Chain A
């Protein structure tokens, strides 16, 4: 885990110069839950974008139905409810 400032510098240093000097025991990488930090960053960003956009798409669909059927309550699909529930911004 990157907890201190020097850990971040160590990570950058690792990424600029290979740590690989021979056997398997020399392979090191800064990790989060045992996974490389680069991989975790990409995974988390991808997940966040998916959750946000899915919720935004669900909200847009519900609002569109609401505006087309004025005065009546419109039920939403389960995937729309789940997408809106999963995103803290919607």
Chain B
């Protein structure tokens, strides 16, 4: 802060310099890794639960599907909560719900208890964590949003890699119930510590958003007025992009969910061992980290629609390789090529939101997009089962995956031009509202 109390303007066009915004990025990445750890490691609980309670795998798996569906349905509400209360209060609410859900899951005795605690309560917590956090990051960046989004999205790939072995170790060492209890308590404490140093907006620490230049008009340093927020949500819902981005997210998620869930049974049916088959998922996750990190930056530099179209095609085209499973090493070639597209598929959405809706609060549209994504994950994860039961092979599931990814690519091509805002300028509207 300057001596007269005004915020310091750091006029640097460099992509990286020190700013509290990077602390925010680290907190948000950390929150997502910690909060979603149990979802990522769900597979580690299936056998112990089946062994103790004699529940069917389908019944246990239903809790996982329910978790995704509830999380998707709650997403638009979670986005609006984030806009109205601010990300900090939303995260506190999310942490409380998460803690209750984890502790209750540790003491379940009936299958329906598991559906309610893991499927419903932790599904709600997941939405409250994940949806307001991306808009919360966007508020801190005037420019170079791509790098910030890349780091946050890389954490989505890093999370499973870190959480799954750790939780699997806890389950083996202490049992499933103690694992839920310990992970719930430790994760909640970690999240509370991160929330303590989290700030909603740069103005909360008398700073300006990252990448602000002296000539830039000021951004508001308080929560958006509810009347203006309501009006802007109406503006957004009148644009085709608001709906089409959600359906594109849906198509992208169907495209990769089919593969993520069913690649292991496909590979084992082609003669690979279970360990070798699970390595395919590991390779895909590792490769995807690189493209998660770079895609938002590529979108800023080379045009968001072009880059997103390319990554949707890169997600769909490698699936053709799975029609020739007898080719030596085909699953590993597939893992690398698919990982590139899978990692890059999501990275353009925050940039696209910024291009279409400017600095308007993003909780509403992001929540609606996450609704599409969640339903896509649930549908894509599910269809492989009935398709295999009907046709005796996964070929039609693969065709559905390719069609979804390529359909998403076509939908991106025909989206509106990103050269203009689709709604009135939030900054000007806020200034008029204040005056």
Q: A20-B416, A24-B235 are in contact. Are A53 and B424 (CB under 8 A)?
A: no
**Chain A residues in 8 Å Cβ range of B411:** 38, 42
Cβ-defined contact, A20 with B390, below 8 A: no
- A residues whose Cβ falls under 8 Å from a Cβ of B: 15-24, 27, 29, 35-36, 38-39, 42-43, 46, 49-50, 53-54, 56-57, 60
**Chain A residues in 8 Å Cβ range of B389:** 56-57, 60
- How distant is the Cα of A53 from the Cα of B400 in the complex, in angstroms? 12
Cβ-defined contact, B383 with A53, below 8 A: yes
CB distance from B352 to the nearest CB of A (A): 14
Cβ-defined contact, A46 with B416, below 8 A: no
- How distant is the Cα of A42 from the Cα of B422 in the complex, in angstroms? 22
The dominant DSSP class at the A interface is: helix
- B residues whose Cβ falls under 8 Å from a Cβ of A: 235, 238-240, 243-244, 246-247, 250-251, 254, 375, 379, 382-383, 385-387, 389-390, 400, 407, 411, 414, 416-417, 419-420, 422-424
- How distant is the Cα of A50 from the Cα of B250 in the complex, in angstroms? 14
CB distance from B363 to the nearest CB of A (A): 20
- How distant is the Cα of A38 from the Cα of B412 in the complex, in angstroms? 11
Q: A18-B420, A24-B235, A24-B424 are in contact. Are A46 and B250 (CB under 8 A)?
A: yes
- How distant is the Cα of A15 from the Cα of B414 in the complex, in angstroms? 5
CB distance from B254 to the nearest CB of A (A): 8
Nearest-neighbor residue (CB-CB) of A36 within chain B: B240
Q: Per a CB cutoff under 8 Å, which of B250, B382, B385, B390 touches A42?
A: B250
- How distant is the Cα of A24 from the Cα of B390 in the complex, in angstroms? 49
**Chain A residues in 8 Å Cβ range of B251:** 42
**Chain B residues in 8 Å Cβ range of A15:** 414
Nearest-neighbor residue (CB-CB) of A47 within chain B: B379
Q: A38-B244, A39-B244 are in contact. Are A16 and B416 (CB under 8 A)?
A: no
- How distant is the Cα of A80 from the Cα of B368 in the complex, in angstroms? 30
